[in-house]
Amino acid sequence: MDPENSTGLVLLNMGGPDSLDSIEPFLYNLFSDRDLIHLPLGAMLQRPFARLISHFRARRVRENYRIIGGSSPLLKWTNLQARAIATEMGPAFRPYVAMRYWHPDARETLRRMAADGVERAVVLSMYPHFTGATTGSSLNDFRRAVASVHPSLKYSVIEHWYDWPGYLDALARRVREGLAKFPAEMHDRVQILFSAHALPQKFIDRGDPYLEHVLSTVKGTMQRVGERNWHLGFQSRSGPVRWMEPDTVEVLDRLATDGVEAVLMVPISFVSDHIETLHEIDIEYLDHARKQGIRHFHRMPSLNDHPDFIGAMAALVTDHLDRNK
């Protein structure tokens, strides 16, 4: 492969701890990010705050990571996605991954790209829905890294793809696969519960498009699945701030009160398995749902590196490049 004729394909993602020992430094990096957590008293207090909260949070989440294998699988899935999309695109594309809060970070990745002689790239956020807390933060970090590590790189960015038809098609197929897990006699009574990662409400109040994007994805998916009851909740809320509502657990409780016995969880702000799917949904929510009387509780399969999802992402990159010629 001639580097001068190569285009880098850079997938941006959150990252996750690759061992139990890396949980605390990973959390420190996350809580130090002022795009994600903006302390009103200024940057001077951000690092002490991050050090304190990461220390105590690590104690609580260490067991969760131990249960799912001792590390996050997010890097594995993002690497697989990057390689598969690049393969689908053709030999002129070279895959790279840049994680926001763990390795390889943007600077590591850009140093590798510079060493490889890659001078142009497409940067693809692996968050379908835009918010300044995730995609915005990752892009800010990537741009800073380009300026300091590889300033000659010419690149374009795909910031969101919440309504990309191929993505919605893949989601609808996974929903149907999830529905197939229920007993035939329950099939028509299954309630679909979409769950997205929560944001502090202040992000939405200041004009962040995340909620609008999430709702568009839900409606586009259900148009493909067909007429069914569906609900939307927001998970992974923590800390003493006002969060987006309703909480996913509150929706589960309401469904149980209404006598619902079958729920399919559809996590839509996550395209890969990680702690929020493998532990929060598969273990915590499953246990909670059963205690509330929801006898049949399943999660749809994640998109991960499924061929239809990879094909949709390759088509998205191709469309982006065609529009930016």
Dihedral sign of CA atoms 204, 208, 214, 220 in order: positive
b/e map 298-310, b = 16+ CB within 10 Å: bbbebbbbbeebb
The torsion of the CA quartet 246, 250, 256, 259, rounded to 10 degrees, works out to -40
Residue 141: per-residue pLDDT: 98
Residue 47: per-residue pLDDT: 87
Residue 320: per-residue pLDDT: 98
HSE-up of residue 195 (Cα within 13 Å, Cβ side): 26
d(CA 128, CA 239): 25
* Catalytic (active-site) positions: 14, 30, 36, 100-101, 197, 273, 276, 280
Amino acid at 228: R
HSE-up of residue 233 (Cα within 13 Å, Cβ side): 21
This prediction has a pTM of: 0.95
Q: What domains can you pick out in the chain, each with its CATH number?
A: 3-161+308-323 (3.40.50.1400), 165-299 (3.40.50.1400)
Residue 5: per-residue pLDDT: 73
- Which residues are registered as beta bridge partners of 297? 263
Block means of pLDDT (10 residues each) for the chain, 325 residues, are 78 98 96 82 79 93 97 98 98 98 98 98 98 97 98 98 98 98 95 97 96 98 96 87 94 98 96 98 98 98 98 98 93
- Which residues are registered as beta bridge partners of 322? none
Residue 3: per-residue pLDDT: 54
Coil, strand or helix at 103: coil
Q: Which of 208, 181, 192 is nearest to 267 (CA)?
A: 192
Residue 224: per-residue pLDDT: 98
